[in-house]
């Protein structure tokens, strides 16, 4: 384990020209753009007279022409389309569109027709509006901080625990089942709506007396609810120490700042608690910022973790690792072109290095940087992969501004594994395992159980509980 100090420090940013970012299908970097690069210069706001000049049949036709020219010169696989025919297919509909919304709809269809999962039409940035004033009656409701499903005859099944919430502080885990709230048997209420309503009422009256089943063990919890900012906590990694020295770390996205810092802090905490092996759960992760994913890789290994290929040639190489520095070790993630020029660099102070065995959990919804990281850990440190084949949606994108002030995302490179292997077909797991709510209701998450079997934490038998 490498690092200085008891807590993981926040990174010291040194972004040189980080205009490239790998995103998942729905991973929003900002409200304005799905793939807003962290150092992309902000264009001047398009003035109303200039915008109006483009809102004509001729102007909109020229925007379509600009999009065609952009993709012909920047798209990572130009041979996939006859770009002139592509533009001609949509030019007339765009030119005669009745208003901006109709025009944006046409351009959205045009970009979606590429079916690469990344290139997309962003349109013009919307003018910022002030939030509506809050009244005293708008007080935040108290929450538990979990994602729940209902299974009749079992109760409320915990599908996810959000970090730093009442549920996390109370020690609830994925696959716990809340069978009763006070004297009310949730197994008999018949619906998620009724069970949620009973839970909400109990949390408002506070503390809520919960009866919980974890596998074959039943116990009581008194939980004090609190306001939960789900938008903030949903992006944060969640860590827990399972039995037998196995740490569990769920990383839901790489598309927010400080994800890697949270990962390093979580790994440090798990090691301090006795974790000798780790289950890294990437299920549900749609990708995000390449440099954040790189700094996450640095918690486990050093070297190349991805190669980007554009138009048949290497466009850049993503590397990461821990390096010595005057103030102590730092994790460094870099993007470099073949000629050595830097496209981006990001640093994280006081990193950690986990040297134990790792199993990575993946699912069919995984995309982009999450898929690449799973492949990189398999190739780089010999991590085993458990779950379902990933989506194979592995492009990097760049945001471009058009003459009318609109923005468009262009898939400019294909991300590959460290060895250069294509990931277009997805990352194939070493062990196939799936989980559904009925499994969780029995107290078992099959991919986690398989991961623990591979790690040697316990002998695997069907229905093993955790």
Once rounded to an integer, what is the mean pLDDT over residues 207-222? 95
pLDDT at 17: 27
Domain boundaries, the chain: 28-123, 141-223, 236-398+409-455
| Chain centroid offset of residue 400 CA | 23
Answer yes or no: are the C-beta atoms of 277 and 356 closer than 8 Å. Answer: yes
Q: 108 versus 126: which is more confidently predicted?
A: 108
pLDDT at 131: 57
- The pLDDT confidence band at residue 459, using thresholds 50, 70 and 90, is very low
Is the per-residue pLDDT at 461 higher than 70? no
Once rounded to an integer, what is the mean pLDDT over residues 220-234? 93
Which backbone phi and psi does 274 adopt, to 5 degrees?
A: 110, 10
- The pLDDT confidence band at residue 139, using thresholds 50, 70 and 90, is low
Say which residues have a Cβ less than 8 Å from residue 453's Cβ, sequence separation at least 6: 459, 460
pLDDT at 53: 61
Say how far apart CA 466 and CA 444 lie, in whole Å: 7
Once rounded to an integer, what is the mean pLDDT over residues 192-214? 95
Concatenating the DSSP letter of every residue in 437-462 gives: HHHHHTT--HHHHHHHHHHTSS---T
Q: 446 versus 5: which is more confidently predicted?
A: 446
Residues in the chain: 466
Q: Write down the mean pLDDT value for the chain.
A: 85
Closest CA to 300 of 380, 246, 213, 206: 380
What percentage of residues in the chain have a pLDDT greater than 90?
76
Is the per-residue pLDDT at 319 higher than 60? yes
Which backbone phi and psi does 67 adopt, to 5 degrees?
A: -65, -45
Say how far apart CA 201 and CA 194 lie, in whole Å: 11
Concatenating the DSSP letter of every residue in 237-283 gives: -EEEE-GGGEEEEE---B-STTHHHHHHHHHHHHHHTT-SEEEEE-T
pLDDT digits (tens, 9 = 90+) for 399-445: 999 989 999 999 999 999 999 999 999 999 999 999 999 999 999 99
Task: Return the residue matching tokens 């013009």.
Answer: 124
- The pLDDT confidence band at residue 29, using thresholds 50, 70 and 90, is very low
pLDDT digits (tens, 9 = 90+) for 48-87: 444 556 788 999 999 999 999 999 999 999 998 999 999 9
Closest CA to 269 of 384, 354, 377: 354
Answer yes or no: are the C-beta atoms of 390 and 363 closer than 8 Å. Answer: yes
Which stretches of 55-122 are DSSP H helices?
A: 57-74, 83-95, 100-112
Identical topology for domains 141-223 and 236-398+409-455: no
Is the per-residue pLDDT at 246 higher than 80? yes
Once rounded to an integer, what is the mean pLDDT over residues 270-287? 96
pLDDT at 37: 30
pLDDT at 132: 57
pLDDT at 320: 98
Fold observed for domain 236-398+409-455: 2-enoyl-CoA Hydratase; Chain A, domain 1 (3.90.226)
Burial 416-426 (b: 16+ CB within 10 A, else e): bbbeeeebeeb
Say how far apart CA 203 and CA 371 lie, in whole Å: 38
What would the two tokens of residue 375 be? Answer: 């492949």
Helix (H, G, I), strand (E, B) or coil at 148: strand
CATH architecture of 141-223: Roll (2.30)
- The pLDDT confidence band at residue 45, using thresholds 50, 70 and 90, is very low
pTM over 0.85: no
pLDDT at 456: 86
Once rounded to an integer, what is the mean pLDDT over residues 326-355? 95
- The pLDDT confidence band at residue 134, using thresholds 50, 70 and 90, is low
Say how far apart CA 282 and CA 455 lie, in whole Å: 17
Is the per-residue pLDDT at 353 higher than 50? yes
What would the two tokens of residue 265 be? Answer: 């802090």
- How many beta carbons lie within 10 A of that of residue 223, not counting itself? 25
Q: 464 versus 102: which is more confidently predicted?
A: 102
């Amino acid at each position: 384990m490498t690092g200085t100090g008891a807590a993981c420090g926040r990174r010291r940013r040194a972004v040189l020209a980080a205009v490239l970012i790998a995103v998942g299908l729905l991973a929003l970097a900002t409200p304005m753009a799905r793939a807003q690069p962290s150092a992309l210069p902000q264009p001047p706001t398009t003035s109303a007279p200039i915008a109006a000049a483009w809102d004509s049949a001729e102007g909109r036709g020229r925007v379509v022409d600009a999009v065609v020219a952009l993709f012909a010169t920047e798209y990572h696989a130009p041979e996939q389309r006859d770009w002139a025919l592509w533009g001609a297919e949509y030019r007339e509909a765009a030119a005669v569109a009745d208003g901006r919304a109709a025009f944006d709809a046409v351009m959205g269809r045009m970009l979606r027709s590429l079916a690469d999962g990344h290139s997309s039409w962003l349109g013009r940035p919307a003018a910022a509006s002030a939030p509506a004033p809050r009244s005293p009656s708008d007080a935040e409701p108290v929450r538990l901080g979990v994602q729940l499903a209902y299974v009749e005859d079992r109760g409320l099944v915990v599908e996810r625990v959000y970090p730093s919430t009442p549920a996390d502080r109370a020690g609830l885990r994925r696959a716990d089942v809340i069978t009763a709230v006070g004297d009310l048997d949730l197994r008999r209420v018949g619906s998620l709506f009724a069970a949620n309503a009973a839970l909400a009422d109990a949390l408002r009256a506070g503390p809520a007396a919960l009866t919980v089943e974890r596998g074959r063990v039943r116990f009581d919890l008194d939980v004090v609810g609190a306001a939960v900012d789900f938008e903030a906590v949903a992006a944060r990694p969640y860590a827990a120490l399972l039995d037998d020295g196995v740490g569990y770390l769920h990383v839901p996205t790489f598309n927010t700042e400080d994800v890697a810092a949270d990962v390093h802090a979580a790994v440090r905490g798990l090691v301090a608690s006795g974790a000798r092996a780790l289950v890294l759960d990437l299920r549900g992760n749609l990708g995000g910022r390449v440099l954040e994913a790189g700094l996450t890789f640095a918690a486990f290994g050093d070297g190349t973790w991805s190669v980007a290929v554009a138009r048949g040639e290497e466009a850049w190489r993503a590397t990461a690792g821990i390096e010595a520095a005057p103030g102590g070790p730092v994790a460094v993630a870099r993007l470099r072109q073949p000629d050595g020029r830097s496209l981006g660099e990001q640093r994280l102070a006081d990193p950690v290095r986990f040297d134990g065995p790792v199993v990575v959990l993946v699912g069919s919804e995984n995309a982009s940087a999450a898929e690449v990281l799973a492949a990189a850990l398999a190739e780089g440190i010999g991590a085993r992969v458990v779950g379902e084949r990933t989506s194979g949606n592995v492009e990097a994108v760049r945001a471009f501004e058009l003459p009318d002030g609109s923005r468009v995302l262009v898939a400019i490179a294909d991300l590959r594994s460290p060895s250069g292997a294509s990931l277009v077909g997805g990352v194939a797991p070493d062990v196939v395992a799936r989980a559904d709510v009925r499994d969780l209701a029995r107290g078992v998450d099959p991919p986690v159980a398989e991961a623990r079997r591979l790690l040697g934490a316990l002998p695997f038998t069907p229905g093993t509980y955790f």
